[in-house]
Structure 1
Amino acid sequence: MRKAMSCTLSVFTILICTSLPIAQAQENPIIDLTSPKAISDAVMVSDQVTVTPSDDPAHPGVIMNVAKGNAGYPGFKYKFDPPLDLSAYGHVKITLTNLMDKRTMVALRIDNAGDWRKNPWNTENIYLEPNKTVTKIVRFGYSYGGKPSYKLDSSKIIQIMVFTGKVKNDAGMKVRIDAIEPGGQPGEKPPVKPENVRIFPNEDGVILGKGVKVNDGKFYTRDVTTKTNGDGSLVIDITKTNKDAKLGIKPPIGLWNLKHYLQLNVAIQNSGKTPITPKIQMVSKRGNTQWITADAAIAPGTSSNVLVPFFDENNTWNGDNHKKSGPQMESNNVRAISFTTTDPKAGDQMTIESITCELVYADLPDWLGKRPPVDGDWKQTLDESFDSANINEKLWRIYAPNYWDKRTHFSREGLILKDGKMHMRLTKKRGHHNDDPKHERVTDYQVGFMDSYGKWVQKYGYFEARMKLPTAPGLWPAFWMMPDRGEETGPQWVRQDTGKGGMEFDIMEHLTRWGPYRYNVAMHWDGYKKGHKAIGSSCVYAKPDKDGFITAGVLWLPGKLVYYANGKEVGRWENERVCNQPMDLMFDLVTGGWDNDPIDDAQLPADFVIDYVRAWQRKDLASEVDGYK
């Protein structure tokens, strides 16, 4: 068994789980799978399932046979009355053997009593190669790869369930359950893989120098040698004249997380005898920055600072080359910082005195918030500044279905007007969806929602909002638009169909794992199933203004979309498939997303703050569908 241990590296604050041998509670089978009771006590959850004892003396156990059928989760379970007390342990371990010639999946689930809508259980999926045996554990409080999950009360386990997914092949599936045993220590946590550790700068933003050291083993070198000084500064000697000579500095473990910053300030001294012009590049899991070259050569014995921005404002995303255009570096997943010179020569030497992360503020254009970014005969059609005492329900619908997560319920209490701004707040508070006591959706997290569906639409124009993003982990705020063809066209799924000329615009879609200065822009069309199509970029960076807000906008013209961050173009797509249907406005703050951290209740409540929402229409594009309904 393994025990978690906290470690501190220099001035960095991290938590890493390290393997240490410890004593553990005596493991005994929860169910004796060699006993006849293992068969008689098994409760089938589908008529596709049968369980039989193994007839192989060398491999005793229970065999689960599942015939082809339509059951979603066929399997069997053992019930415990009174509840099973495993509070002396940290997990349940199962050993399984695949008796088929095809790969299969089996899940183990440990249940408490309670409302099924709260998912009062922990589950792990086990994938078995043909004729192979696998052992897997379900840790109490964790599910699906050791992610934090329902906080199971291990003293009150009411059932253990073994099941699979829908079986479609004629041969069915057949596995042998060799053992189900408790183990580990109470409160144990999954081990953290070193590559999943994130290193943050110290409180001054420093990641090297000024007393912060990086271990010598955390470099990759090509025709260079290094020496670390007592203050953490790093001496780089070029040993061979080679245009590819370089040094890469890696974090002490895992990756650097620089999500609260937007550039590096690198202090470099020429400690050699000839002038040098340094070049620096940031390397991340997804992609790299461009090489940044010092503004001028550094003379021997002198120092200079090189600023390395996380993104190039002139390198914008383009939908015609959507996978490779625009910024590619992920500031929360930085693998290394690389150094070379414009002309590496043997004998050149430079000292990296310090590397400091900095936040850069936006230089906003005068027109921002006052007009569209392009010339034309424009008229402002919407000015929502949240200055009234009450929510403008002529414009905003606050109750709606929640298609995006299973944790939150929408509530009026999650929309707070304060100081001329809308605070969309996510709180740990149990309640019914849409404040409807009869609604079957009841969740532990309350949040506000607003869209203009059925109340205000526009076809083409410029749309802009000024927002401050939340920083609590696990949140998914967005400013977006969806088609609304009008009540006369039918139910909501028809009105908002992203096919037939419709499209989803994600003007600002954010996952809080990324930090408050990076977001996603995207377009989705042709539904959300097999025909679904999408393009976009999740590496749009925006400098905050002096109050910490960013302003995102989209210019939508026939066959053309241009995205803006703080008045600067960050992406565009020109194509005849661009939406040609009226669209509404949407703001939400749900949880999850495709690249996020678990929710941390200790950092709630969290606010997505919206200062204003504005829209303009060009005179020649105006139509009778525009405006309030």
Structure 2
Amino acid sequence: MLRTIKRCLCSAVFIGMLHISVAGAVSLVPYAEDALSSLSTRDARIESLESSGQLKVVFESGGYPNLSFPIPADGWDLSAYWGIEIEIENLSDAPIRAAMRIDNPGDEREHFWNTETILLQPRESKTIQSVFGKNNGKSGYPLDASRVSGLQVFLLTPKSESVLLIGEPRGYGAPDSDRLRPRYSAPEARAVPVECPDWLGARPPVEGDWVVTFDEDFDASELNPLLWSQRHAMGGPHPLEKQRYRDENLSIDEGVATIRAEYNPGHQYDDSKLPERDFAATMLTGYDLWRQRYGYFEMRTKLPTAGGLMPVFGLIPDRGSDTGLNMHQRRTSHDFEGKGMEIDIFNHRAEWGAGRVGYSTRWGGPAGTHIQKNWGNAYVYYGPTQDGWHTFGLLWEPGKLTWYIDGIKKEEWTDDAIADLTCYLSLTLPMGRNSPKGIDQPALPDAWKIDYVRAWQLAERD
């Protein structure tokens, strides 16, 4: 059984390795001379236990020297808390960057942890507070606070030996409603084969009087110009992406559309007036061709595997050509005429490997800026199918989004901010953007295969 840590307002008392303070905060690892041997360090040493109750720790220069705290083999259950906090004072003569990392069980390559980082000036004292599910205040790995398996304080490449006073780790705050919501996905799902239901692809996964509003089976030998364009509404890919778009990088054969990603230097759309890029792919957009508000949207696909590739299937707001707005105004997800929002039905970084995708939404903020709000989950897991094809879907309702994989519910989000404007479909294959190791060029060419794209609408809204 996990070691459960509950909030308490009683007087101070020791419970195993836990100390409950009179203020109700939990000291997770009370410091005592006879307990210091349970702490561990890497490229650091514990020098003393100060009269203040803080540890004096010396960290070596370079790398990521750390202090790790003892946690029972069965873990900590901190689900009653918002996060963990530690008071740290920099006794050194140089500024340092210190971080706290909280882990869940799992393969380190999957980054099953949350990290919070602070900058400490010489002789400065701060309380570093990590919020479960956040990395430096932004959405991160959705850490399960009931399964905490690791806790450490580390420095980020200190230039010289550094001395810190480190207080006892404490649980603080109460969990928010977002963290208490149900979880529909866990890493273990990757190893569990999925048997797709017979109805998959024929109807949405929820009951209702549904009408098919978009049905692209790629049965023709060429792209249907009434449904799709290969011209990006903004003229080309993001400046941080490494690919150019070419119509020739799309092929259709035996009912399957294939977007080819390859090393192929040249100009955007093979137009000498446009910028050059080293890699090539293509994209599909429904801008100015088809749009819908609310409904169910679905794709059956096989994803590429080469590192640095990121297929994205999403919805982009479109206020319509009849509004008299320019392209930027029609498409913006910032604060402008209605609730615009970019919604990823799925995104996938190939370096994640099979069985993991992410969901994200972006909205709000002043028009003409890069300031926006966002919500998402980059840790959504699913198991293999017999034929290697997977079906990704999104149910969009007023104030609610629900995501599905192979007919199985994987995520749900309810919020008044959710879009109420019509959107068009977008399929893009960014290459090299936000990829730590860049593009795995030897693994190219690679392919994103799409069997179908469909949308439904409730009859009362059709």
Letter in 2 for 1:412: D
Q: CA deviation at 1:323?
A: 9.4
CA shift, 1:529, in A, is 3.4
Taking structure 2 as the reference length, the TM-score comes to: 0.59
Answering whether residue 295 of structure 2 is matched by residue 461 of structure 1, we say yes
**Structure 1 residues 320 and 553, CA gap change in structure 2 (3 angstroms):** farther
Residues 1:429 and 1:360: Cα distance change in structure 2 (over 3 Å): same
Larger RCO (CA under 8 A, 6+ residues apart):
2
CA contact (8 A) 1:361 1:543 kept: yes
Provide Cα deviations, 1:5-45, integer angstroms capped at 9, x if missing partner: xxxxxxxxxxxxxxxxxxxxxxxxxxxxxxxxxxxxxxxxx
Q: 1:583 to 1:471 in 2, by over 3 A?
A: same
Cα distance between partner residues in 2 of 1:249 and 1:380: 42
| Aligned 8 A contact 1:320 1:573 in 2 | no
Q: How does 1:407-446 map to 2 (within 5 A)?
A: 407-439=242-274, 441-446=275-280
Tell whether 2:330 aligns with 1:495: yes
Partner of 1:573: 413
Question: 8 Å contact 2:104–2:144 — kept in the other structure?
Answer: no
Task: For 1:558 and 1:329, locate their aligned partners in 2 and report how far apart those are by CA, in whole Å.
Answer: 27
Quote the offset at 1:511 in angstroms. Answer: 1.0
Give the AA of the match of 1:429: N
2:459 — aligned with what? Answer: 619
Whole-Å Cα distance in 2 between the matches of residues 249 and 621 of structure 1?
44
Distance in 2, Cα, partners of 1:257 & 1:324? 26
1:385 matched to 2:220 = no
Task: Give the letter aligned to residue 475 of structure 1.
Answer: L
Q: Which residue of 1 aligns with 2:91?
A: none
| CA distance in 2: counterparts of 1:249 and 1:320, whole angstroms | 20
The match for 1:553 is: 393
The residue aligned with 1:326 is: 183
Contact 1:399 1:411 in 2 (8 A): no
- Among 286, 299, 306, the alignment partner of 1:452 is 286
Structure 1 residues 358 and 516: alpha-carbon distance in aligned structure 2, compared to 1, 3 A threshold: closer
Partner of 2:197: 365
1:397 correspondence with 2:229? yes
Question: 431, 441, 444: which is aligned to 1:591?
Answer: 431
Name the CA shift for 1:562/1:258 in 2 (closer, same or farther; >3 Å). Answer: closer
CA distance in 1, matches of 2:433, 2:393: 22
Contact 2:308 2:351 in 1 (8 A): yes
Mapped to 1, the partners of 2:179 and 2:373 lie a distance apart of 13
Residues 531 and 442 of structure 1: is their aligned pair in 2 closer, same or farther, counting only changes over 3 Å?
closer
User: Superposed, which structure 2 residues align to 1:170-569 within 5 Å?
Assistant: 256-257=108-109, 287=143, 321=178, 326=183, 359-400=191-232, 401-404=235-238, 405-439=240-274, 441-489=275-323, 490-498=325-333, 499=335, 500-527=338-365, 529=369, 531-569=371-409
> Using the alignment, how far apart are the partners of 1:407 and 1:569 within structure 2?
34
Does the Cα contact within 8 Å between 1:426 and 1:607 map onto a contact in 2? yes
Q: CA deviation at 1:485?
A: 1.4
8 Å CA contact retained: 1:286, 1:329: no
Please say if residues 378 and 616 of structure 1, whose CA atoms lie closer than 8 Å, have aligned partners that are also in contact: yes
Kept after mapping to 1: 8 A contact 2:241/2:432: no
Instruction: Find the structure with the greater CA-based Rg.
Output: 1
**Alpha carbons of structure 1 residues 330 and 529: separation in structure 2 relative to 1, 3 Å:** farther
Q: Deviations over 1:34-65 (max 9, x none)?
A: xxxxxxxxxxxxxxxxxxxxxxxxxxxxxxxx
Tell me by how many angstroms 1:373 deviates. 1.6
Distance 2:399 2:73 in 1: 52
Report the alpha carbon displacement of residue 418 of structure 1 after superposing the two structures with TM: 2.4
How many residues were matched structurally? 307
Partner of residue 7, structure 1: none
SS at match of 2:280: strand
**1:598 partner SS:** coil
In the TM superposition, residue 608 of structure 1 has moved relative to its aligned partner by 1.2
Deviations 1:159-203 (A, max 9, x none): xxxxxxxxxxxxxxxxxxxxxxxxxxxxxxxxx9799xxxxxxxx
Give the equivalent residue in structure 2 for 1:150.
Answer: none
Q: Aligned-residue CA RMSD in angstroms?
A: 3.6
Q: Does the aligned pair in 2 maintain the 1:381–1:616 contact within 8 Å? A: yes
How far residue 329 of structure 1 moved from its aligned partner, in angstroms, is 6.7
- Opposite residue 547 of structure 1, the aligned amino acid is D
Distance change (3 Å), C-alpha of 1:619 and 1:610: same
Letter in 1 for 2:251: I
- Residues 258 and 449 of structure 2 are in contact (CA less than 8 Å); yes or no, is this contact kept in structure 1? yes
Please state how far the C-alpha of 1:406 moved relative to its aligned partner: 3.5
Find the aligned partners of 1:432 and 1:588 in 2 and give their Cα distance: 18
Structure 1: gaps spanning 5 or more residues: 1-191, 196-219, 225-247, 260-283, 292-318, 332-356, 623-629
Conservation of the 8 A alpha-carbon contact between 2:185 and 2:381: no
Decide whether the 8 Å contact of 1:503 with 1:524 is kept in 2. Answer: yes
Q: Deviations over 1:515-546 (max 9, x none)?
A: 12111112111158364111110011122321
User: Structure 2 CA distance, aligned partners of 1:536 and 1:358?
Assistant: 20
Distance 1:595 1:320 in 2: 32
Distance 2:383 2:282 in 1: 26
Q: How big is the shift at 1:580?
A: 1.0
- TM-score, normalised to structure 1, is 0.44
Cα shift readout 1:341-386 (whole Å, capped 9, x = no counterpart):
xxxxxxxxxxxxxxxx984321212221001122222111111111
Q: Structure 1 residue 256: deviation in Å?
A: 4.8
Q: Call closer, same or farther: CA 1:432–1:372 in 2, change over 3 Å.
A: same
